[in-house]
């Protein structure tokens, strides 16, 4: 079974490729770049002229709402949306129902994923049993079952001793710990960034310190335990600076940012637009610029979707009473590409933040198109314009804050292990 991707512009940052180049695939693997391997026979030829060919996107955080909240979305619906958006690998946090803290739940997710094979799901195991923050989960078992890291998601680990031991134990099995930095006593009931907008609208607010306090505490523990730590979805400029300093000091820490935090600020809440209710909250313009700066200087190495699809009703409530979260799978690639137009970053660097870097954070041999690598591939038309609307969003969640934005860059083909899982 040979596939010939013909005439496309290949961008593969891990291999420093950024030029017109054909790609040849056999048995789900890349077997030729530029020229066909000996004896290659194309069963399928994909015409990629005028298009960009890149490794499939690795999204470090997306929720499918399954198991537990299937009325919002399912693994089938959301991996289909992922495929339509050029995403081939997604990390699933453990705050499912049941909670992903046993190998049995990992199994369940793998089975569901096999049945709906539009993208590969990499589960993150719970750091503590039931995410309750008290007892360690069976991290070894979770790793054996296929978890690529551990995290307590948005649930607090109030006891510093428990967090320290969890880090030590995770380090024992070389598991990366995914940290969502939040001091819950400072967040307490807040739903908007503490600043000008929350002051004007009278919204219960989340101060910047809710993030920076947690980052400071966690960095101290990372330093002591030596665990490989990944900070998820930073929202404040100050946190970026703290991580930057820690990296400079040689700590094994990485960080990502959600695409919406690179574009929106609390100003976008306008008069209580519930689609802008998200955690961590949209902060102010300076924070947005600080996150972009962090991406430029490499402190933040990955862009993720932090996709959280909702049914319509979830957002039909006054701002704070609406459920937090945004539907962002469909917009991840075009919004990331748009950065090259807005700040001093190349398309190749942006693509690295979606492929090579998240692969490095996960420590997996994916996110590149070297010879012998699995053929997870995204092909997009860089000049195609489309408008975000409930009809153009493939995700079952229509809760996008980018409604009516005109975006550039549209996926035409997605291949997962050499299989075409989406074509437009």
The span of 134-142, 196-204, 329-337, 342-350 binding other proteins (CB under 8 A) equals 196-204
**Nearest partner of 180 among 306, 301, 89, judged by Cα:** 306
Task: Determine the distance from the C-alpha atom of residue 315 to the mean position of all C-alpha atoms in its chain, rounded to a whole number.
Answer: 22
Check binding of 285 to other proteins (CB under 8 A).
no
SS3 136: strand
Check binding of 271 to other proteins (CB under 8 A).
yes
Site size toward other proteins (CB under 8 A) is 27
- Residue closer to other proteins by CB (options 24, 319) is 319
Tokens of 392: 């153009």
Q: Select the residue interacting with other proteins from 108, 252, 272, 417 (CB under 8 A).
A: 272
- Shortest separation between residue 185's beta carbon and other proteins, angstroms: 10
Tokens 């870097």, located at residue: 357
- Is 22 part of the annotated catalytic residue set? no
Check binding of 220 to other proteins (CB under 8 A).
no
The span of 151-159, 189-197, 226-234, 333-341 binding other proteins (CB under 8 A) equals 189-197
How many whole angstroms separate alpha carbon 170 and alpha carbon 149? Answer: 9
Write down the H helix ranges in 297-406: 312-315, 332-342, 347-354, 356-362
**Nearest partner of 375 among 48, 24, 122, judged by Cα:** 24
- Shortest separation between residue 115's beta carbon and other proteins, angstroms: 31
Tokens 């369940």, located at residue: 108
Site for other proteins in 312-341 (CB under 8 A): 313, 316-321
Return the C-alpha torsion angle 173, 174, 176, 181, nearest 10.
70
- Shortest separation between residue 277's beta carbon and other proteins, angstroms: 10
The span of 194-202, 245-253, 347-355, 366-374 binding other proteins (CB under 8 A) equals 194-202
Q: Select the residue interacting with other proteins from 196, 286, 385, 424 (CB under 8 A).
A: 196
Give 54-79 as a 3 state SS string: EECEEECCECCCCCCCCCCCCHHHHH
- Shortest separation between residue 324's beta carbon and other proteins, angstroms: 14
Write down the H helix ranges in 46-177: 75-84, 103-115, 139-145, 160-172
Q: Select the residue interacting with other proteins from 270, 365, 370, 390 (CB under 8 A).
A: 270
Catalytic residue among 306, 330, 376, 381: 306
Binding site for other proteins (CB under 8 A): 194-205, 207, 267-268, 270-274, 313, 316-321
């Amino acid at each position: 079974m040979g596939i010939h991707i013909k005439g496309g512009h290949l961008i593969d940052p891990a291999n420093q490729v950024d030029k017109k180049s054909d790609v040849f695939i056999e048995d789900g693997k890349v077997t030729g770049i530029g020229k066909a391997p000996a004896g290659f026979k194309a069963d399928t030829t994909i015409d990629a002229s005028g298009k960009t060919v890149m490794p499939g996107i690795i999204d470090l955080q997306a929720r499918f709402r399954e198991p537990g909240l299937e009325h919002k979305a399912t693994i089938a619906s959301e991996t289909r949306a992922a495929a339509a958006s050029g995403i081939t690998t997604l990390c699933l946090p453990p705050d499912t129902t049941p909670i992903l803290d046993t190998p049995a739940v990992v199994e369940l997710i793998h089975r569901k994923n096999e049945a709906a094979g539009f993208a590969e799901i990499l589960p993150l195991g719970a750091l503590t049993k039931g995410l309750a923050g008290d007892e360690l989960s069976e991290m070894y078992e979770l790793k054996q079952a296929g978890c690529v890291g551990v995290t307590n998601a948005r649930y607090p680990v109030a006891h510093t001793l428990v967090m320290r031991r969890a880090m030590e134990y995770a380090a024992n099995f070389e598991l990366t710990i995914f940290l969502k930095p939040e001091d819950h006593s400072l967040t307490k009931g807040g739903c908007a960034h503490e600043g000008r907008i929350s002051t004007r609208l009278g919204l219960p607010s989340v101060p910047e310190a809710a993030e920076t306090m947690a980052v400071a505490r966690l960095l101290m523990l990372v330093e002591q335990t030596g665990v490989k730590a990944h900070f998820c979805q930073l929202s404040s400029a100050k946190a970026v600076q703290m991580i930057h300093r820690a990296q400079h000091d040689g700590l094994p820490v990485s960080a990502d940012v959600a695409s919406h935090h690179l574009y929106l600020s609390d100003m976008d809440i306008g008069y209580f637009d519930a689609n802008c209710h998200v955690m961590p909250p949209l902060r102010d313009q300076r924070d947005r610029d600080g996150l972009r700066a962090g991406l430029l200087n490499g402190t933040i190495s990955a862009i993720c979707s932090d996709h959280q699809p909702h049914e319509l009703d979830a957002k039909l409530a006054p701002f704070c009473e609406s459920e937090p979260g945004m539907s962002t799978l469909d917009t991840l690639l075009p919004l990331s590409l748009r950065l090259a137009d807005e700040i001093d970053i190349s398309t190749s660097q942006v693509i690295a933040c979606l492929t090579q870097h998240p692969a490095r954070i996960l420590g997996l041999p994916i996110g590149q198109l070297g010879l012998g690598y699995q053929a997870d591939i995204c092909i997009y038309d860089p000049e195609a314009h489309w408008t975000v609307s409930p009809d153009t969003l493939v995700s079952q969640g229509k809760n996008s804050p980018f409604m009516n934005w005109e975006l550039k860059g549209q996926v035409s083909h997605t291949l997962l292990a050499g299989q075409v899982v989406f074509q437009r």
